Structure 1
Amino acid sequence: MIRRAVESDVPEIFAMVRELAEYERALEEVRADEEHLREALFGQNPAAFAHIAEGEAGEAVGFALWFLNFSTWRGVHGIYLEDLYVRPSARGGGYGKALLTELARTCVERGYERLEWSVLKWNRPSIDFYEALGARPQEEWDVYRLTDDALKQLGTV
């Protein structure tokens, strides 16, 4: 079952964020805590949204965390999927596909024209999964990021 996250899901979502970071070999980069996540998802002006995949016993086995983006060329919003994670014990059970299906349904219902995300180049199982659903890499684009000192240096000019 896929459902919208509620505030009481925050501890479990945060635990899965840490599991995902560990899987991606970047646990040391997690600086957020449950309060950051709670504010982003359920604060005065939520900027992010989440869905939960529940297993047979109602336990959280995965999540999708997303936010809106905007295409100036198409003139409409889209969804940017920040994180999609299914716990190893639940992989192969259709939860990842169900989460993506729910986000695609949200796009269609709201008139959004894109569902986008990034995937690590070495993460072949995820790449194969996404391509089996019909997703294609945007090879003409490279992702750039400013963080930490470089961000501070540019932001204080």
Structure 2
Amino acid sequence: MAQVTVREAVMQDIPQLKTLMLAYIVDFYQYRQPEDDKLNGLIHTLLEQKEGIQFVAETEDGTLVGFVTLYFTFSTLRASRIAIMNDLYVVEAERGQGAAQKLFAACKGYAARNSYANLTWTTSKDNFRAQAFYDKIGGDRSDWQTYSVNPTSGIGD
């Protein structure tokens, strides 16, 4: 079990962070690999910390073993800013060792320090391990149903 620390991602993390993000996207969720320019652009946008922020979990030897992304938006119902946590990911060898708790705590602390009205997140309905983790840390299951649509498809497609 490696001791991990969690901190904000920085430019020097890009090569390792990109590898982690690809493992999350392609290997874990089995999505198509994004174009290199798009993934690089996303990472750089998050490093600017205007639309979101990423935290990384790092071992004592400098190896990144996890990351989490917060995106910033607003809630009309709350008339305030909210943070949406996406992409909490820890490499399989480090799961169950505390990195996920530390990454979540970084998000919660960031949202509290910056006066966000709410921290919210979603996970896949078949990701039972993540659901158990979120239940364990005191997450409340929402009464809201999440929908999505491809904006380039026709209505009713």
In structure 2, give the amino acid aligned to 1:147: N
Query: Cα RMSD over matched residues?
Result: 2.0
Contact 1:10–1:37 at 8 Å: present in 2 too? no
**For residues 135 and 9 of structure 1, do their structure 2 counterparts lie closer, same or farther at Cα, with a shift above 3 Å needed?**
same
Give the drift of 1:104.
0.7
Contact 2:83–2:119 at 8 Å: present in 1 too? yes
Could you say which structure has the greater relative contact order, defined with CA pairs below 8 angstroms and 6 or more residues apart?
Answer: 2
Q: Structure 1: 5+ residue runs without aligned partners?
A: none
Contact 2:9–2:47 at 8 Å: present in 1 too? no
Tell me whether 1:84 sits opposite 2:88 in the alignment. Answer: yes
Q: Which residue is 2:108 aligned to?
A: 104
Q: Secondary structure at the match of 2:101?
A: helix
Q: Which residue is 2:19 aligned to?
A: 15
Give the drift of 1:148.
5.8
User: Which among 19, 25, 31 is matched to residue 30 of structure 2?
Assistant: 25
User: Which among 94, 111, 118 is matched to residue 122 of structure 2?
Assistant: 118
- Runs of 4+ aligned residues of structure 1 deviating over 6 Å after TM superposition are none
* Equivalent-residue separation in structure 2 for 1:72 and 1:103 (angstroms): 21
Identity rate, percent: 25
Q: Structure 2: 5+ residue runs without aligned partners?
A: none
Contact 2:73–2:84 at 8 Å: present in 1 too? yes
In structure 2, give the amino acid aligned to 1:40: T
- What is the count of residue pairs matched by the alignment? 148
Give the drift of 1:128.
0.2
* Equivalent-residue separation in structure 2 for 1:147 and 1:11 (angstroms): 30
Q: Which residue is 1:142 aligned to?
A: 145
